[in-house]
Amino acid sequence: MKSLAILVAEDEVLTRLDIRGMLERAGHVVCGECGNGRKAVELARQLMPDLALLDIMMPELDGIETAKILYGMNIPAVMLTAYSQPHIINRAENVHVCGYLVKPVSEQSLQATVRIAYARWRDMQHVRRELAETREQLEHQKLIARAKTILIGREHISEQAAHQQLIREAMSLRLPLVEMARRVIAATDGASSPGEKKVGEASKFCRNSQT
């Protein structure tokens, strides 16, 4: 796998040094290290690491709360702890932690967990992007369908003819089809905006394009 920039937040200095050494031997870069959660959040904002290793029982802000904040920053987290109680694992899962290591951490388990956690995070991000793109496409389809309905009612034309009108005007104004649809809808709704002149032109075109 590629070399990762990793943030290590662990309040036990010797453990932190051991983990840093293991990560560096695996080819990763420890871009920042600290011993409490608040500092980890501060470093994460400054450095934007690829991954964070967080001790659960840290002062000021515990690892799980820190992981929750980092998740909102699109930074995956792996938890480090000497505890393996189910309720701690459940808390970690609820904040979308990507991995879990019980101390003392072996070099082999650390490398494997980092690799799997980062791969899992990339997969999650890919799915999130696909869902966002799908939602956007559906929204665009709804806008185009609404604009066609407006033209059909106004011009008494077929759906195919309405779609062709939208395409012709979008090409004429060098606009994406969905933006043309928005302008038709805005003109019909009587919306007023800095682009009102163009909206009016678009509306006029759509009314007169069949004459």
**pLDDT tens-digit map of 96-122:** 788 888 888 999 999 999 999 998 888
- What count of residues does the chain have? 211
The Cα 41–Cα 38 span in angstroms is 5
Question: Does residue 84 register a pLDDT over 70?
Answer: no
Rg of the chain in Å (alpha carbons): 27
Residue with the bigger pLDDT between 82 and 30: it is 30
- HEC-encoded secondary structure of the chain: CCCCEEEEECCCHHHHHHHHHHHHHCCCEEEEEECCHHHHHHHHHHHCCCEEEEECCCCCCCHHHHHHHHHHCCCCEEEEECCCCHHHHHHHHHCCCCEEEECCCCHHHHHHHHHHHHHHHHHHHHHHHHHHHHHHHHHHHHHHHHHHHHHHHHHCCCHHHHHHHHHHHHHHHCCCHHHHHHHHHHHHHCCCCCCHHHHHHHHHHHHHCCC
Question: Does residue 45 register a pLDDT over 80?
Answer: yes
Question: Does residue 197 register a pLDDT over 50?
Answer: no
Mean pLDDT of 142-157: 89
pTM reported for the whole predicted model = 0.63
Token pair in block for residue 106: 């072996």
Q: How confident is the model at residue 195 (pLDDT cuts 50, 70, 90)?
A: very low
ω before 104 within 30° of 0 (cis)? yes
Token pair in block for residue 112: 């494997």
- List phi, psi (to 5°) of 52: -125, 135
Token pair in block for residue 10: 């662990």
Q: Which of 38-47, 112-121, 154-163, 202-211 has the lowest mean pLDDT?
A: 202-211
